Amino acid sequence: MIRDVEAVPHDETSMDTGVSRISVVVVNWNAGESLATCLRSLAADALGGSEVIVVDNASSDGSMAAVRGVVPWLRVVDAGANLGFAAGANLGADGASGGVIVFVNPDARVLPGAVPALARGLDALPGAGIAGGGLLDPRGRWQPGAARFGPLGHLLLDTTLGRLPARLRDRPYEVDWVYGTFMAVRRDLFRRLGGFDPAYFLYGEDMDLCQRAAQLGVRTVHVPGARAVHGANVSAAQRFGIGREAEVVKGELRFYARHRPRQVPLFRALAACKFGVKAGLAAVAGRRMVAATYGRVVQACLHAPA
């Protein structure tokens, strides 16, 4: 479900964004220099009154040492272990004081004004409780930041060709779910939902949160004008290597098993076919690493537990 929406003035029936107080939560695990870059991009927001919290999942690469005590406005929460993104984000949100909680990946760099713009995007349509920002790669090229529910819509329409219209959008529009890379959630909604489901270690927790919000009648909106530059997936690449894409599929399988169990067989079949074709084309083109990556995805589609 995707439709454009007009910005609406705040009234007594709409939920207050609390943009005068925003809490930004960053979950770090061995993000290297990306963490410092991320925090530098948040400095203006922090100096303007936003709360910035970094939850460190027992990093061992010196990324926290490089910023701890150096960034005066930073609040650090030590998780004591690698809890994964969902549980780490919940830990950071537990002590957040803002009316809106903005989650930012440590490998993302927000552009000036993007954090308050994303929070204001929650007023783009009545009943919106979750907003996702527009994403760019390090070269300034468009990246997807929202997607559809349902195997057919997600696997067949959330593709390069299927997303061409989304590249042209510049106003907020309603979507099924947004990526947790750069996501704003009303604090009261987040707590009502119990936060992210910690059963998702990494991948799928954003999809799950938007689904549970929709079940309460709360809408999700994508705000293309609130932009962040999303770099390489440093933490995930360290943990999963070429199996990272397979982990994405495992997270989606978990989502369908929880919320749409009858669609699990269809998701497995469509995903296996889609990524099987990609693996074959990559092999023919001599792109052995890409072929191996998609081969792992196919194995996950067929055999990973849901």
pTM: 0.90
pLDDT at residue 227, as a whole number: 97
CB atoms within 10 A of CB 227: 23
Q: Which residues pair with 132 in a beta bridge?
A: 183, 222
Q: Rounded distance, CA 236 to CA 204, Å?
A: 14
Structural domain boundaries in the chain = 3-232, 238-303
Is the distance from CB of 163 to CB of 214 less than 8 angstroms? no
pLDDT in tens, the chain (306 residues): 333 333 333 333 234 444 458 999 999 999 999 999 999 999 999 999 999 999 999 999 999 999 998 899 999 999 999 999 999 999 999 989 999 999 999 999 999 999 999 999 999 889 999 999 999 999 999 999 999 999 999 999 998 888 888 888 989 999 999 999 999 999 999 999 999 999 999 899 999 999 999 999 999 999 999 999 998 776 666 666 778 899 999 999 999 999 999 999 999 999 999 999 999 999 999 999 999 999 999 999 999 988
Q: What is the Rg, in whole angstroms, of the alpha carbon atoms belonging to the chain?
A: 19
DSSP string for residues in 135-180: EE-TTS-EE--EE-SSHHIIIIISSTTTTHHHHT--S-EEESEE-T
Q: How many residues does the chain have?
A: 306
Q: What is the 3-state secondary structure (H, E, C) of 255-283?
A: HHHHHCHHHHHHHHHHHHHHHHHHHHHHH
pLDDT at residue 232, as a whole number: 72
pLDDT at residue 234, as a whole number: 67
User: Is CATH 3.90.550.60 the classification given to domain 3-232?
Assistant: yes
**Position 235: which residue type?**
S
pLDDT at residue 102, as a whole number: 98
pLDDT at residue 22, as a whole number: 96
